[in-house]
Amino acid sequence: MEFDGVCKAYGANEVLRRATFTLPGGGVRCLMAPSGSGKTTLFRVLLGLERADAGQIRGVSPGRISMMFQEDRLCETLTPVENVALVLPPSARRADVRDLLAEILPPDCLNQPAMELSGGMRRRVSLARAVAFPSDLVVLDEPFTGLDQATKEKVIAFTLRHRAGRTLLVATHGEDDARLLGAERINLVDVQDGGVGTA
Ligand SMILES: Nc1ncnc2c1ncn2[C@@H]1O[C@H](COP(=O)(O)OP(=O)(O)OP(=O)(O)O)[C@@H](O)[C@H]1O
């Protein structure tokens, strides 16, 4: 997947300025950047939720991207199993979804409506939904916020296990996250203006 000179401005605020970088197929990358510098905007353009002002994205189609947003975006009255099943083909077995979720969540919470879950549990349902969706590229926007270290390590192992060779792009502020993921870093500052200092 390749960003080639992608520009996006909101009025006079030039958020993406000829953003240029390549994600090798099957690679794991962390997108690192200070808050407010444009990571979410980059993802929104990638997903086709915002139209780029200029430039091109090649090598992936928006319908083949799994996305975990900064907000959990769960259906509040549905259980974790039902939330994940929503993004799967009707033939998907509920027992398989349950087994997947049980790898990172206490079994007791799998039948509770999402509105009754803790913040960290909700993050994990949202992550499992992104990982479960059949895609070519998995994009996670600050997926580990609110998780303690042990849970984060469990969740990272889960993510790597289930990405199944797909390209993985994770926005994070944590150097530790990048290390645990075994990811190379892409610094958004470096890939602006034509990608002068691409990691
Ligand atoms: N819909 C919008 N309209 C106007 N400005 C916007 C819009 N969305 C984002 N911006 C601006 O674009 C800039 C980048 O925001 P963005 O959310 O992409 O940053 P971010 O790197 O994801 O930040 P954070 O790490 O805090 O989530 C900010 O200055 C923000 O105010």
Going from N- to C-terminal start, the domains of the chain cover 2-191
Residue to mutate (ligand 1; options 32, 35, 39, 41; most atoms within 8 A of CB):
41
The 10s digit of each residue's pLDDT in 147-192 is 999 999 999 999 999 999 999 999 998 899 999 999 999 999 999 9
pLDDT of 196 over the 50 cut:
yes
Global pTM exceeds 0.80: yes
CATH superfamily of 2-191: P-loop containing nucleotide triphosphate hydrolases (3.40.50.300)
Read off the pLDDT of each residue in 124-133 and give the average, rounded to a whole number.
98
Q: How far is the CA of 173 from the centre of ligand 1 (A)?
A: 15
Q: How far is the CA of 88 from the centre of ligand 1 (A)?
A: 30
Q: What is the mean pLDDT of residues 36-51?
A: 95
Burial of 97 (0-12, 13-18, 19+ CB in 10 A): buried
ipTM of this predicted structure = 0.96
Q: Length of the chain, please?
A: 199
Q: How many beta carbons lie within 10 A of that of residue 160, not counting itself?
A: 16
Task: Provide residues with CB under 6 Å of ligand 1.
Answer: 10, 13, 15, 33, 35-41, 70
192 C-alpha to ligand 1 centroid (Å): 15
